Amino acid sequence: MNNHVTEQLTRAGREIEHSSFAIVDREASAHSYADDQWQIVRRMIHATADFEFNGLTRFHPSAVTAGLNAILAGSSVVADVEMICVGLSKPRLAHFGVTTRHFISDQDVIAAAKRQDTTRAVQAICKAYRLGLLDNGIVAVGNAPTALFEVERLIAEEGVRPALIIGMPVGFVSAEESKAAIAKIDSVPWIVTDGRKGGSTLVVAALHALLALAEQKDRWG
């Protein structure tokens, strides 16, 4: 049965999306993901046409449940870059009362990064921490490994407890290492992609999949 809020708004759009998902299911090799995890991985493949995410995507055992509970509670999404916030469906977020925040271009963030000779992404995460947005929120990182390392530091040193970390930065400098570091955390649920592959598109796809699963849970229990 179709979701009302988290699917395409037109019949034609829904048919195309459902057909695309069916192709992914048919062409994907065997996988060991749970059904709800596969809904996320499948949408990531759909967004990129890259079947390597079947295997590259890893989940903390509590990740999906934690993400659904956070969405149903109307928790904030704190993103490392504006692209994630722009890519997320505003009507779908609004249905759950979820807001998105990013601070990468704030003047105080830029000034602090210059003053401390660090990255804007680090200072943006620090600002989110000072504003109390990290605890019980969803942290979404698709671009900056330094943001993910800062989240790891705040968890270890300051006791920060996000509801869920979606850590999928892309790149050649520290991207793989930052995700590996997050995947060692037991106290906070996470979803990561192994290796260099990642990006904001994947984070958006994962969040849209969680929103769809949240609608199903909200409607059918």
Domain assignment of residue 39, yes or no: no
* Range(s) of the domain holding residue 91: 57-220
Domain assignment of residue 81, yes or no: yes
H or E element: which one contains 105? Answer: none
Domain assignment of residue 50, yes or no: no
Domain assignment of residue 4, yes or no: no
Residues 187 and 165: beta-carbon distance below 8 Å: no
**Which residues are identified as catalytic?**
46
Q: What is the CATH number of the domain that holds 70?
A: 3.40.50.10230
Residues 128 and 103: beta-carbon distance below 8 Å: yes
Domain assignment of residue 52, yes or no: no
Return the DSSP state at 189: -
Residue with the two structure tokens 């695309």: 20
What are the pLDDT tens digits along the chain (221 aa)? Answer: 467 777 776 777 788 888 888 899 899 988 999 999 999 999 999 999 999 999 999 999 999 999 999 999 999 999 999 999 999 999 999 999 999 999 999 999 999 999 999 999 999 999 999 999 999 999 999 999 999 999 999 999 999 999 999 999 999 999 999 999 999 999 999 999 999 999 999 999 999 999 999 998 877 65
Indicate the number of domains in the chain.
Answer: 1
Q: Is the pTM of this model over 0.75?
A: yes
Domain assignment of residue 43, yes or no: no
Euclidean distance between CA atoms 119 and 73, whole angstroms:
32
Euclidean distance between CA atoms 61 and 52, whole angstroms:
21
Domain assignment of residue 28, yes or no: no
Domain assignment of residue 143, yes or no: yes
